[in-house]
Structure formats: structure tokens, C-alpha cells
Structure 1
Amino acid sequence: MPLHDPFVVADDRSRTYHLYTSNDPAVSGVDGTGTMVYRSADLRDWTRPEVVFRTADQHGIWASDGAWAPEVHAWNGRFYLFTTLHDENKPLKVPPANRWGTPFQLPNHMRGTITAVSDSLSGPFTVVDPERPTPPENLMTLDGTLYVDPSGQPWMVYAHEWLQTVDGTMEAIRLAPDLTRTIGDPVFLFKASDASWLTEQIPGGMPHQLAPYITDGPQLYRTPDDSLLMLWSTYEKNVAGDDGTISGGYVQTYAVSRSGDLTGPWDQRRPLVREDSGHGMLFRTFDGQLMMIVHRPFENARGKLYEMRLTGSELRVLRRRADLDGGG
């Protein structure tokens, strides 16, 4: 099962798990950029995926590439798909300076999460605003997710690309009650370099700006004791080679809001899974077991499942479910 950025909806009514990922024409049999869904009753045996969203079917849509990190959320009796599109032919203005005080020259282009809606988990999904992404279009963003705060206010939480900031950030913006537009300005949550363990293997004095700090794949999760967690992914850094170049592997980590509110402050915790794994999300099985799904490796990715344990705000891996994900 090829899949990247997996997202599972456990539908109680049908007792069916829906696993959303970017369309792979070689698997779905349907050409085009979009989203496909696998279905299963037991997390082990899955149907052939069906395409539920295609950019080619959206009249006047602003971008037709990407369709990364699809998520589907139930809201007010309908289902909302978030997925990230981009258009490399629509450049963005490069910021005049980065956090190091020097010009940042990597090219930026339009990238952001769109919102689409359907009356069914099976789609088809129709984009609500074909002219622009949901977050501000002057920002290069990705991996938008839905969070509803205790007052009932919906938010989109997203990653602001390191390509535009060097030190990638997590940000949030309020959504209208029907999720069709944003309200107000983005709110900064934290930056990737707040995770102090990221640079533990880099010797003192080495210019850390040579290695960008990446934010990927936010997912918010409210615990039984009312703590607020955010799963997110990044690249752990280490020194590779005698020339001082810095590289690293993809990791799944998480943060905890000290206040229990979206605005934090956020305390960064140690990684949950390494081994070039990430973009995970939490869900509960129909028998109540907390599970995490990630993709591994980053290239030619497959889904990996883990049983998890929550103790207060502490999240831990209990065991890898190789019996479900095919091992390896």
C-alpha cells in the first residue's frame, strides 16, 4: 500500500476505517492529482483505493500540483477535506532577511492547504474557494489541519515553510463557522528550533543556519485529562562528512501546550519514532486502543502502525503493530 502523509477516520456508523492519502494512479487506476481512500474493517485487510478528490474536476482552481497530506474532518453534518496544493509558476516575494540577518535566496512559490466539502466520507469533494488557499496566500504553507477549541471556534493549524522562514513555524488562523474563509491574522505557535534536541549532535560553534529547521504534519489531540498535544514532524540534525555539512533523518515528535490552549506556550518533547518516519496522527480503534499511524521511509513510503499509551500529557509508544502493517 503506497501512501504518504496518512490520515485515518474511524467511522463508528459503518465500523470502517478510512485511510486517506495522495492519489497514486498506479494504485487507484485513476489519473490526476488528488486524494484517494483505502477502507478496512480491521486495519489489516484493505480495499483497493478510490479517488475522492481530483484537482482536474475543480473549475478554476488556483493550483493543480501536490495534493499532499489530505485529512477529512466531520463538521456540522458534512465532511471537510484539507489538502495542500502548490504552483511553482506562481512565485512569492522572497522575504528581505531571515532570522540570521542575511538574505534568504531559495525560491518561494504559492503553496497552501485548500478546503473542500462533501456530504460523504467517500466524496466527491468540491473545493470551497477555487481561487486561493485557505491560509494567507502570501505565505508558503502546508499540512493544514482542523482544530476546534473549547469555545467551539474552528481553526486551521498549518506549517509555515522553512523555504520562506529558514526556521519553520507552526501557526494557526481562525476559520468561519462554515470553514469557508479565515478570520483575522495568523497566530504564531512555535518554531522548529524550539525543539532543543534537534541540534544535540551538532558541535558547538558550527553555523546552525546551514541546516534549515523544518515543521511538518501538525495534528492536535485533546487528552482525557484535558491536556492539548500536537503531533508534528521534523528532521533531526547531525553532522555528515568531513566538510561539515549537516544532514538528518525524518522523525515523529510531539509538543504539549502548557496552558491547555492552542496558543500555548508549547513544550517540546522527545521524538516518538525515528528511522526516517513521520507525518503521524492519532486515532482510536473501535475497541478503544489509541493508535498512531506514520509513513516510513520518506521516499517510497508505506504506513506503519503503533499502539500508544497516554499518561496525563505523556505520550509513549507501546509496540509496533507489524502484524497489521506488513512488517519491515
Structure 2
Amino acid sequence: MRLPGVPLHDPFVVADERTRTYYLYTSNDPSVSGVEGTGTMVYRSHDLRYWMRPVVVFRTGEQEGLWAIGGGWAPEVHAWGGKYFLFTTLHDQDKPLPVPPPGPWGTPFQLPHHMRGTIIAVSDSLLGPFTVVDPARPTPPDHLMNLDGTLYVAPSGQPWMVYAHEWLQTVDGTMEAIRLAPDLSRAVGDPVYLFKASDAPWLGEQIPAGVPHQLPPCVTDGPQLHRTPEGAPLMLWSTYEKHTAGPDGTISGGHVQTYAVSRSGHLEGPWEQRRPLVRDDSGHGMLFHAFDDQLMMILHRPFENARGKLYEMRLDGDELRVLRRRTDLDGGG
């Protein structure tokens, strides 16, 4: 299989040095995997060009007492303590949440608010099966609509989950973090605010002059942490950028891949927003090193009917640059 023929949303790559194999995780698609149910599947490759048919490594329906079986969004797998941990987002539309009180941007949207959050599951193998560590609840507080949780390990060794707090609750979406127990079995303490979507100074700059608009709602999506050569946290993240006005004055847009860097060198920030890396309705990217040590980024484009796109990257100090698009691997488009 080649990437142009692979339905791929929220891609996440683990480059396993021991087997010289790339593991590409995404939400289960029964039409591709042949396995029904919500969960996670993984493609494997030795060269980023040809991929084996996916195998399913996690299914919500096989987890006893799980608080939600819908979603299965944005899976990613991290090695920790001699095991592998799957982070993925679930939701249950039959478990409503109250609409929160008005915040700085006014009243949250009067759309149905329901339980949505990131869970953690564990396995001895990159091929699963993964078992949820706490089936009773998501890892962040369950009154928060959150998604796309990812692992960050501070220089002290403290593990954190970084996640996006949904714009449905906040209007101006935020990035937040919560400490994890050493075995990743539960959250410890209260969430820590990192930044909000509208902190990106370039949001809205592509809206034609003279077109009235109000910046929020603003989306936070797809955090993924990397370290600069000096050790400061660098976060890839995505948002929805408004950029054109229709003949009736409406504004459209698309997803955009961007990043931010912690000026303090600590996860708590403050965070400095940088210019977008890729536009063209692209997003939910992550960084990994290929086996030749080339820094790579994979993301999906477009948001609907998405496919994986690969880029060679370079990190100069705390500045992340796109070197070239690998159309020979991802098929162009």
C-alpha cells in the first residue's frame, strides 16, 4: 500500500529502531482493516514508501466497563517504563455535560456538551492488544471536553498529559496539561493552562480588509511535544484559520499546521507562537526521526477524506523549518 491510497486522519508514527520498522497509528477504519468497531489500527513500513495492510491493536468494545465506546480519535503510542502506552480520545453523546457559564469571550456555544476525553491504555507490544488503565473515566477531569492528549516528559522525569480543551466549552480553545502518576495510571493535581488559540497573532490576517469579523471561536487541536537542541519544549499544534470572504460576506477557511516554543524552557511557559508551517487545510502533525536521522513531519490533508503528507524538517535552535515535501513518498496532492 502507498500513502495516497491510505485513509489517514491524525497520523502518529513510532520509528522502532530495534526492528527498523515504522508504525503508523490512526483510527480504525473497518473498510481498510476488515475489523468492525471503534478503535486503533496500525500500518507498518520499513521505508516510508510501502505499507503493510493495517492491523487493529485496540477496540473499545473489548474493554470491560469502559465509560465510552465512541470516537477513537488521534491515537498515539509512547514507550514508557518498559511498556507501550496508547493515548486516544473517546466520547459519549449520551452523557451530557452542563454548558459552562460565560467566559472572557461570552457564552459557550449552545450545542450539546457531552463527555469527551483522552484515555490511556497499555500493552507489552507496539502491536497491542492495548488495555485501558482506568476504564471508569478519562484521564483529565471528566467535566472538561478535551481531546488529542499526548505525552510529555519533563527533564525532571515527571510525565504530563498535554491536551486541547474544546472550543465548544471555552469559545477560545486552550492548550492545557496535567501531571500523571509515574505509571501513567491516573492524573495528579489540577490542570495547568498553557495558552489559548487566539494567542497566535497571525490568525485572521488572511481575511480581506474591510470584512467585519470577530476572531473567536478559535480551535486548538493536535498538540505534540518535541525538544529543541537546548531542551526547551516545542509544541506542534493545529487550528482553523479563516481566510476568505464569500459574495454574501461569509468567511471560510481551513486547518493550518503551526507550532509554539516555551520561552522559559518549561512546559508551563510562557509560550511564544510562531508562523504556520503548512496551510492548505493541513493539520494534526507530529515529528519523528527517520532511520537515517532525518527529522520528519507527518500530517493529514485535507480535513475531509484525509491522506498522510510527509515533509523533511530542520530545527535551527528553536526555529522549525520545512525543508521539502516528500511527494515521492506521499504521492503529491
TM-score range, shorter chain: over 0.9
Shift of 1:245: 2.8
Q: Which residue of 1 aligns with 2:304?
A: 299
Which one-letter code corresponds to 1:9 in the other structure?
A: V
Q: Which residue of 1 aligns with 2:214?
A: 208
Q: Which residue of 2 aligns with 1:42?
A: 47
Deviation string, structure 1 residues 96-121 (Cα, Å, up to 9, x no partner): 21323346422211000000000000
User: Is the 2:108–2:169 Cα contact (8 Å) retained in structure 1?
Assistant: no
User: Is the 1:230–1:256 Cα contact (8 Å) retained in structure 2?
Assistant: yes
Percent of pairs with identical residues: 79
Q: 1:83 aligns with which of 77, 85, 88?
A: 88
Q: 1:29 aligns with which of 34, 39, 50?
A: 34
Q: Which residue of 2 aligns with 1:233?
A: 238
Q: 1:118 aligns with which of 115, 118, 123?
A: 123
User: Is the 2:41–2:57 Cα contact (8 Å) retained in structure 1?
Assistant: yes
Which one-letter code corresponds to 1:158 in the other structure?
A: Y
Deviation string, structure 1 residues 9-47 (Cα, Å, up to 9, x no partner): 000110100000000000001000000000000000110
2:181 counterpart of 1:164 = no
Which one-letter code corresponds to 1:208 in the other structure?
A: Q
Which one-letter code corresponds to 2:214 in the other structure?
A: H
Query: Which structure 1 residue ranges, 5 or more long, are not aligned?
Result: none
SS at match of 2:79: strand
- Give matches, 1:60-75, under 5 Å: 60-75=65-80
Q: Which residue of 2 aligns with 1:176?
A: 181
Q: Which residue of 2 aligns with 1:131?
A: 136
- Give matches, 1:165-314, under 5 Å: 165-202=170-207, 203=209, 206-208=212-214, 211-314=216-319
2:73 counterpart of 1:98 = no
**Hey, what's the Cα distance between the residues in 1 that align with 2:246 and 2:213?**
15
Q: 1:5 aligns with which of 3, 10, 13?
A: 10
Deviation string, structure 1 residues 229-251 (Cα, Å, up to 9, x no partner): 10000011134224433321101
Query: Which structure 2 residue ranges, 5 or more long, are not aligned?
Result: 1-5
Q: Which residue of 2 aligns with 1:323?
A: 328
Q: 2:56 aligns with which of 38, 46, 51?
A: 51
TM-score by length of 2: 0.96
User: Is the 2:22–2:44 Cα contact (8 Å) retained in structure 1?
Assistant: yes
Deviation string, structure 1 residues 70-107 (Cα, Å, up to 9, x no partner): 00000000000000000111111101213233464222
User: Is the 1:227–1:260 Cα contact (8 Å) retained in structure 2?
Assistant: yes
Relative contact order (alpha carbons < 8 A, sep ≥ 6): 1 or 2 greater? 2
User: Is the 1:160–1:169 Cα contact (8 Å) retained in structure 2?
Assistant: yes
SS at match of 1:264: coil
Deviation string, structure 1 residues 252-279 (Cα, Å, up to 9, x no partner): 0000100111011000011100111100
State the superposition RMSD in angstroms.
Answer: 1.3
TM-score by length of 1: 0.97
SS at match of 1:198: coil
* Number of residue pairs aligned between Structure 1 and Structure 2: 327
**Hey, what's the Cα distance between the residues in 2 that align with 1:103 and 1:223?**
36
